Amino acid sequence: MTTEDLLATCWTTAGDATPGSDDERSPLSLRERAEAAGAAGFTGFGLLYPDLVEAERTYGLAGIRSVFEDNGIRHVELEFITDWWNGDSPHTASGAARRSVLTAAEALGARHIKVGPDVEDRPWDPDVWAKEFAALAAQADGVGARLGVEFLPWSNLKTVHDGLRLVEAAGHPAGGLIIDVWHTERAGTAPAELAKVPGSRIVGVELDDADAQVVGTLFEDTVRRRRPCGEGSFDLPGIIAALRAAGWSGPWGVEILSDEHRALPVREAAEVAYRSAAALLG
């Protein structure tokens, strides 16, 4: 269906696990998830920090790498560091997560690390954020990875333009954006605007789809009602063409989040996600 590399982001194979819940960990083993992703055709795999902790406890970092290699996984994404803008304190949960993720990124040969904005949309100092983002990008670069910030339409970084201003102000070449098309669509960003993003600043892309009408809050809509690619209202061919014009060539992340998707057996979930995206990439 496609010769391009696709990456199953963490939620695509997580099973009955929901972002924002008290325990976001997947109930499935890493091996079960990696086998499902590899069998579907994915060559990339995303791992959430709580699942990374559990997998390291079970397999060790060398064992995690072996699981990925056994299943043809070449591109590894680690997420989701929050509160990074408050610095690298060894006495905070975010500081511990940062050190653990950086160590794992080096051991696993991760291609990038994903960080988030402030989902509470509190007042913030762009200069402080740029300084801290540059510092974390330098740390990621030091372990052979890139750093991508994912903008969210309900956060302090609502659009691709907000995210780009941050990474350009930070100025570190290892820093850039994670562009999830759900967020660009819900923020009202036209595909033509994505074509203008410097290719050097795109760290990752995530494909998905949704209905035209938002149901509930933006957060509820994004975690409960996404659709497989091509089954919703998004102009995915136009978006893909725009991102290619910007210089993106993959791996293409696929992030399907919905009540229906979580209820599927993991192999079926991975197959649905892969087929829907591969059909559009050609």
The ranges assigned to domains in the chain are 6-281
Whole-angstrom distance, CA of residue 166 vs CA of residue 132:
10
Confidence of residue 1 (pLDDT cuts 50, 70, 90): low
Q: How many CA atoms within 13 Å lie on the side-chain side of 180?
A: 24
Whole-angstrom distance, CA of residue 226 vs CA of residue 159:
19
pLDDT of residue 22: 79
Tokens of 135: 């510092």
Whole-angstrom distance, CA of residue 219 vs CA of residue 153:
9
pLDDT of residue 177: 98
- Does position 243 have pLDDT exceeding 70, yes or no? yes
pLDDT tens-digit map of 169-178 = 999 999 999 9
Q: Which CATH number fits domain 6-281: 3.40.50.300, 3.20.20.150, 1.10.1040.50, 3.30.70.1560?
A: 3.20.20.150
